[in-house]
Structure 1
Amino acid sequence: MAHLLGYDPCSRFSRAFPHYPSGSSYEGNRHVGFTLKACFDANGGDNANRLFVKEKKKPFGFTCVPLPPLLGDLEKGNSVRDDGRDASRIDVEDKSLGGSPTKPFCFPDQQLPQKLVVAVDVDEVLGNFVSALNEFIADRYSSHHSVSEYHVYEFFKIWNCSRDEANTRVHEFFETPYFKLGIQPIPGAQMALQNLSRFCNLSVVTSRQNVIKDHTLEWIEKHFSGLFQEIHFGNHFALDGVSRPKSEICRSLNAKVLIDDNPRYATECAEAGIRVLLFDYENSYPWSKTESDYQHPLVTRVINWEEVEQQLMSLIASS
């Protein structure tokens, strides 16, 4: 993907992974150490479920911005731009920026605009939670389901049980290898986020419960090490503890964009003035196909991480 979009090799860099305050933990024979830039607030508040990592300074270099359709034009529902050109393609006429129809814009780092703050969901956006959960439910409860059955992201409605029973089953799932070892990254997420980290301040905003915080941190460190500056847990559908709305977390981050698969969160954040990329991997998420959410001007549907990258880069290029 990076080569196809013409990214400069100098844009690849690494940062230390945000560290957890407990000191250290072990995963198998591998030691994972954690430290914190800021302290946990045991009484709640903005820092209660928030992790920080200091960003390393990057050496001076040149940055290349690809030329996808402009998100602003697409959000307006325009297939034709204000200048009369097709919004689905860009013909670069201003050669002063070093761009061309086949070559991305390149300019020195100090000319980059302020980084775009982007919040990223975990389940079904970074990792395939439902697929792993279905395997557990099939083996433990002899109840077989496919992802295509989840017309809503409310498990009790799919499993034909009470909400409390569904929550209990999910927490049982957390204790098994189906959860701890079975969730794999969504294809394309790692490379796209590596590319985007050059231009965006990325943070995780997940509805996951506090009870799986440690494992979530280890999973992110394993698959997306050094890419996220902060990690926030909403603690939704938890058996205990206080939950936080995603819109509230995003506002505390000053996030301009949320990448999420859940239409309910998409609507909540869009109504709070936050752009949302509604993620529907290869059109395989029935729960994300809600017509009312497509009609909101701040919600744009994407079907893979290549489209996520294109939409965010177009927003950056047009800012």
Structure 2
Amino acid sequence: MVPVHALDRFYLLLTFLVTVGWQLSGFAIAYTLKVDKITDFTGGSNFFVLALLSLLIGNTFYARNIVASALVMVWAVRIASFLLFRVIKTGRDARFDNIRSHIFKFLGFWIGQILWVWTVSLPVVILNSPAVSDKRIGGDNPKFGTGRDIAGIIIWALGFSVEAVADQQKYYYKSRNKIPKGLPTNRGLWAWSRHPPYFGEMLCWWGIWMICISPATNGSLPTSSKSALYGSVVSPLLTFIILMFGSGLPTAEKPTAKRFFLLSNGRDTQYASAWKHYQEYLQNTSILIPIPPSIYGPLPRIIKRTILMDFPMYSFSEEKDGEVALHEAQEDE
């Protein structure tokens, strides 16, 4: 079996062009119809397309290629279908309220999605490419089932389980009103982590990368191919950076705190304790890594702020942020 050579031997340009076409098609539909229902679905499904395309045209069906591609596709189907289902039920995505009607701002989001999908897909794309899998250059994959492969599968399975279960738990609690309005979601995995889906997603891509880099140990593989495999570590690193410092925690922590602060300082006195309850939740619940509250709560603040990554940038200041929030609320009235 000989891989198809298309544009370059790493499939970088081909997959980039496919991603651009896929995302811009989604943008055209979303902007023209002013709908949010396909935005996240277009992102998630793009991962499926790149994994399947690179596997098929790579035409090298080693066990490792099949497993890595299948894991990416399973993850993509789950995330795309869940996000599509959720936005259909809710009707809109509040993230786009201020940019949905501004073509260049809205396009900026889709360009970011292009770079995200393409970069995070690199491990499996490079693994399936002729640069790694072509036997004529020594691309025989090492025997599948090494310690690294097993560790990668376990890490992926753990991450996938955490992400899927946490998403379902939060949707269930919100849709069934299992959590009173004045209390944070503190059931199931959400009692151990404030953002378990983000933690799960990070694990998934570290697991995929670990599976994909095993051919780099093959002595007959060209140095450039080995470097590309190791360099695809940008995939889990970018996932970590985006979720920790981009569209993940920064867009969730302060807005959530603001909601409880305003609820507590609003006219409805039944929610007067909302801010107090939320502060207790912050004190006892890890921001990312799931940790039992009985263990996390007593930990020194310095440990939480450094090793456990609950950085000061995520904190809502009652004096600074609270004053601004109250002022904005008064203006809206």
What's the TM-score, normalizing by structure 2? 0.23
- Larger strand share, 1 or 2: 1
- Higher Rg of the two aligned structures: 2
- Larger helix share, 1 or 2: 2
